[in-house]
């Protein structure tokens, strides 16, 4: 193996730059040429490649987003698009590819390997923390800290005005961010896709707490559980508070990565290069019990990571 490439795909997550830096520097130190592919799979199809150097990745660990930029590429879903991508890799004499992204990105990587035999190593980068076979994904910790900080600020206003705030966070199919943020901030409820919500029961509990003298209320809602507007419609005028909606949106993806995400991404990036050098063909780097592991993408794709629902019970006990 002489040349490897790295790309970031799908939604950005804090820490992607640290992973890129590790791939580039460990790769160069290992005697490899490292190529950066801009704009994810779109750049792979278009051949938007550039050779990376130590200087290319200087000072990027603390930056949010991705210096290689990213995209969601419909063309790559087609056989014709993947054929173009494979041809570009062949033309550039790239022997292995590191893909940093979520389930859709890793699925594309797996298919590319199956169709063209290109050695692939994936790094799970998504704020949803919904990738199987890894305890944490790159970007989750930073996102959670951003959400917790925002909720604490909203809680100040909620207390001052004796209001309820319904806070919508990201998570189309996973309630991880909503649930963890609810526990961390002492929210009164978490509404998540994994568990159907009984609005009458929730409203009765919140109203009873209001009658006992509670002066604020925070409800954290995952976007995939119906969203904040839907929750507000079901609770409005039933819980004894004037309610407000706050949708945090894409602010959750930005910002300087936490120390945890920088370290996780760096370790995963370094392990990805080692995996390619060891002859791995189609694996993802994961974190299991504090250690880096290599898991076949066959075991990852199509499997939803299960949320620990005992934490939901804990959230109810603590609320």
Look up 308 and say whether it is catalytic: no
Pick the catalytic residue from 12, 46, 95, 128.
128
Please check if 303 is assigned to a binding site: no
Domain boundaries, the chain: 3-139+257-300, 141-254
Please check if 128 is assigned to a binding site: yes
Please check if 310 is assigned to a binding site: no
What is the per-residue DSSP string for the chain?
Answer: --EEEEEE-SS--TTHHHHHHHHHHHHHHTT-EEEEETTHHHHHHHT-EEE--TGGGTT-TT-SS-TT-----SGGGSHHHHHHHHHHHHHTT--EEEEEE-HHHHHHHHHHHHHH---EEEEEB-TT--BTT-S--BTHHHHHHHHHHHHHHHHHHHHHHTEEEEEEE--SS--HHHHHHHHHHT-SEEE-TTS---HHHHHHHHHHHHHTT---EEEEEEGGGTHHHHHHHHHTTTSSSEEEEEE-GGGGG-SPPPHHHHHHHHHHHHHHHHHHHTT--EEEEEEETTEEEEEEHHHHTT-BPPP-THHHHHHHHH-
According to the model, what pLDDT value does residue 175 have? 97
According to the model, what pLDDT value does residue 319 have? 83
Q: In the chain, which residues have pLDDT < 70?
A: none
Domains 3-139+257-300 and 141-254 share a fold: yes
Homologous superfamily, domain 141-254 = Phosphofructokinase domain (3.40.50.460)
According to the model, what pLDDT value does residue 220 have? 98
Please check if 172 is assigned to a binding site: yes
According to the model, what pLDDT value does residue 53 have? 98
Q: 178-229 pLDDT, tens per residue?
A: 999 999 999 999 999 999 999 999 999 999 999 999 999 999 999 999 999 9
According to the model, what pLDDT value does residue 89 have? 98
According to the model, what pLDDT value does residue 304 have? 85
Q: Report the topology of domain 3-139+257-300.
A: Rossmann fold (3.40.50)
Please check if 186 is assigned to a binding site: yes
Please check if 215 is assigned to a binding site: yes
């Amino acid at each position: 193996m002489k040349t490897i490439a790295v790309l970031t795909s799908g939604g950005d997550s804090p820490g992607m730059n640290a992973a890129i830096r590790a791939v580039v520097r460990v790769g160069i130190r290992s005697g490899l040429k490292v190529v950066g592919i801009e704009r994810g799979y779109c750049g792979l199809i278009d051949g938007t490649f550039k050779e990376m150097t130590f200087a290319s990745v200087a000072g990027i660990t603390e930056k949010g987003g991705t210096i290689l930029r990213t995209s969601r590429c419909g063309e790559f879903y087609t056989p014709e698009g993947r054929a173009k991508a494979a041809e570009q890799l062949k033309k550039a004499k790239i022997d292995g590819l590191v893909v940093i992204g979520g389930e859709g990105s890793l699925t594309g990587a797996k298919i590319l390997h199956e169709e063209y035999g290109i050695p692939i190593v994936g790094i799970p980068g998504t704020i949803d923390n919904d990738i199987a076979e890894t305890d944490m994904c790159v970007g989750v910790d930073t996102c959670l800290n951003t959400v917790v900080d925002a909720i604490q600020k909203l809680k100040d206003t909620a207390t001052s005005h004796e209001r309820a705030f319904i806070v919508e966070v990201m998570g189309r199919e996973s309630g991880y961010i909503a649930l963890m943020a609810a526990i961390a901030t002492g929210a009164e409820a978490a509404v998540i896709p994994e568990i159907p919500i009984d609005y009458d029961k929730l409203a009765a509990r919140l109203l009873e707490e209001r009658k006992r003298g509670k002066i604020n209320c925070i409800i954290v809602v995952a976007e995939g559980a119906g969203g904040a507007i839907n929750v507000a419609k079901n609770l409005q005028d039933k819980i004894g508070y004037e309610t407000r909606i706050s949708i945090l949106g894409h602010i959750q993806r930005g910002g300087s990565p936490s120390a945890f995400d920088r370290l996780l991404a760096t370790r995963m990036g370094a392990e990805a290069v080692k995996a390619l050098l060891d002859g791995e063909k189609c694996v993802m780097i994961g974190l299991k019990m504090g250690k880096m592991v290599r898991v076949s993408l066959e075991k990852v794709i199509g499997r939803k990571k299960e949320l620990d629902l005992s934490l939901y019970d804990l959230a109810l006990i603590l609320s």
